[in-house]
Amino acid sequence: MSHEAKPWVDGLTVGQVLRRTAERFADRDALVFPALGVRWSWAELDRRADQVAEGLIAHGVQPGEHVGIWSMNAPEWVVLQFAVARAGAVLVNVNPAYRLHELEEALRLADVATLVVGLPFKTSHFVAMVQELAPEIARHHAGHWRAAKLPMLRRVVAIGDRPDAGWLTWADLESTAETDRRLEEMAEREQATRANHVFNIQFTSGTTGLPKGAMLTHRNILMNAYYIGQRTRYTEADRICVPVPFYHCFGCVLGTTVGAVYGCALVVPAPAFDPLATLQAIETERCTAIYGVPTMFVAELEHPRRAEFDTSSLRTGIMAGSPCPLPLMRAVVEQLGAREIVIGYGLTEASPIITMTAADDPIEVRVGTVGREIPGVEVKLVDPATGKPVAEGEAGELCVRGHGVMAGYYKNPEATARAIEPDGWLHTGDLARRREDGNYRIVGRSKELIIRGGENIYPPEIEEFLCHHPAIAEVAVVGLPDPHYGEVVAAWVVPRAGASLTAEDVKSYCQGQIAHYKIPSYVEVVRELPRTVTGKVRKHVLRDEGVARYGLADVARIPTA
């Protein structure tokens, strides 16, 4: 597919892109939730976005107001994303895994004035937690209360039934009477909204500290979505299976926004990842693309009923979040049939994709690298200590500049200044090498670099090597403090189902295969690795565990939190 001189989305807003796509592909599937019986065309999604935008305006949401959504994957999530854009407001994604303290912190950090609250899921009773956090809601009529802990919070909306008199419901937003003045105001807001206005606040993971709200503009997100679709060769005929969470950039940029840019159908198997529901959705909806982090693909491939489902419709997809071992990529290609699946690398602050492999890249490139930079962004590798460019072939911190770089961290100029240089370069904190073929290889986090007796060790290199062991399913490598070497290698390994594995087996496998200083001094065989809800391994938890288990607190020279 040829690249346009100027992508058609450049200069538009998220709401405008949906409107144009709905005009072009009115009757094609836009959003499918098989388990809920939801099948909306682009025209229907566009109509619902208008309806809810009018409802937001009718209930007092102002231009630039921060509208949060705290919910699992649901049709309302997608509608709200586009409705907020049309109302000229700012969408704030709130992680559904948050507990009470984390929710309070997120709402305060982002100055959320309107919060849309999802239906219960397993042990997460979202409405009950909001009621506990802001009991004032129950004591006053809608629109006339103010939460003591959260003075910015003015209104709450339940996607389900009204829990008490102080709440609005999703039905209230949808059933607002249409008036000429309200339609005129929505049109005025849509016209006044510019591509460089902040549209979305997404929190960084916060696994190593307090989360920060990355401010992403309409242009940030739309340009990223456009070039993602170029690399995956999407057209309106594609049907993307999206089992990843909407609150994360994987779901709401690579998923919903890419769909709106290309007219692809989005198929959402369940409120949260379910390997069986994903396999069923691929077959019944004849999905052509599949999204996920490596652990999701492992769960799908190893599901005892996988062979029952026909996944031959798959052509492509995106794997991101953590490195993909070669055996896993081969299985995805050969067993699931996603022969053109690509690897993406990025971070929330870059909207998110920075580099990506291409559909026609050899499998070695799609496993051994994270591809090349997408058009419109520049990449450079620098010495983390000096900030100077590294020599060709050397590892350095990957920095990026271009249309994807965020507008900054919300109300945190100090953190913004640390992350983005005055000339626009964003520091990712990831160490990478550039190969002779122009593809980049991520070798670790700058903070996770292990320095053993002066030798630099990059954890992903050891993790990839150990994943070739026939009895190992997953590996996480961290550095632990050592009184002699400063740091040594420690590995947490998860055996394959039914396999027998010991720490000595792992160490013996390494002998003569990798440099002696890379061989793990400590090996823990575990059933699973601690992860964030997006599948990233929480390595600081492993480091804390190792320091405690081996009595290394007194010799720790690196942070363990």
Cα angle: 430, vertex 435, 438; to 5 degrees = 95
Could you tell me how many residues make up the chain?
Answer: 561
Distance CA 69, CA 94 (A): 6
How confident is the model over 429-471, as pLDDT tens digits? 999 999 999 999 988 777 788 888 777 788 888 998 999 999 9
Confidence of residue 555 (pLDDT cuts 50, 70, 90): low
How confident is the model over 51-66, as pLDDT tens digits? 999 999 999 999 999 9
Cβ neighbours for 123, distance < 8 A, ≥ 6 positions apart: none
Confidence of residue 141 (pLDDT cuts 50, 70, 90): low
Of the listed ranges 136-140, 233-237, 363-367, 425-429, the one predicted with least confidence: 136-140
Q: Could you please report the per-residue DSSP string of 286-347?
A: T-SEEEE-HHHHHHHHT-TTGGGS--TT--EEEE-SS---HHHHHHIIIII--TT-EEEEE-
pLDDT at 559: 34
Which residue type sits at 55?
G
Distance CA 301, CA 336 (A): 8
Note the Cα 123 to chain centre separation in Å.
23
C-alpha distances out from residue 474 to 332, 465, 494, 517, 537, Å: 16, 11, 5, 21, 10
Q: Which of 523, 372, 494 is nearest to 439 (CA)?
A: 372
Top pLDDT among 181 and 539 is at 539
Q: HEC string of 442-490?
A: EEEEHHHCEEECCEEECHHHHHHHHCCCCCEEEEEEEEEEECCCEEEEE
The pTM (predicted TM-score) of the whole model is 0.85
How confident is the model over 281-340, as pLDDT tens digits? 999 999 999 999 888 998 999 999 999 999 999 999 999 877 788 888 999 999 999 999
Q: Which of 342, 294, 273, 276 is nearest to 473 (CA)?
A: 294
Name beta bridge partners: 397.
382, 431
Cα angle: 550, vertex 555, 560; to 5 degrees = 75
How confident is the model over 249-271, as pLDDT tens digits? 999 999 999 999 999 999 999 99
- Mean pLDDT (the chain) is 92
Look up tokens 């049907």; give the residue.
239
Highest average pLDDT, of 31-40, 183-192, 506-515, comes from 31-40
How confident is the model over 326-354, as pLDDT tens digits? 888 999 999 999 999 999 999 999 999 99
pLDDT at 558: 37
pLDDT at 89: 98
pLDDT at 523: 97
Of the listed ranges 116-125, 225-234, 319-328, 523-532, the one predicted with least confidence: 319-328
Report all structural domains of the chain as residue ranges with CATH numbers, in order of start. 17-30+40-203 (3.40.50.980), 449-555 (3.30.300.30)
Torsion of CA 527, 530, 532, 534, to 10 degrees: -30
Which residue type sits at 268?
V
Cβ neighbours for 309, distance < 8 A, ≥ 6 positions apart: 279, 280, 282, 283
Count of CB atoms situated within 10 Å of the CB of 185:
18
Name beta bridge partners: 456.
451
DSSP secondary structure code for residue 53 in this structure: H
Confidence of residue 428 (pLDDT cuts 50, 70, 90): very high
Q: Give me Rg for the CA atoms of the chain.
A: 24
- Do the Cβ atoms of 396 and 390 come closer than 8 Å? yes
pLDDT at 344: 94
Q: How do 396-402 and 114-117 pair as beta strands?
A: unpaired
pLDDT at 4: 56
Asked whether residue 409 carries a pLDDT value surpassing 80, the answer given is yes
- Average confidence (pLDDT) over 355-364: 94
How confident is the model over 202-237, as pLDDT tens digits? 998 543 456 799 999 999 999 999 999 999 999 999
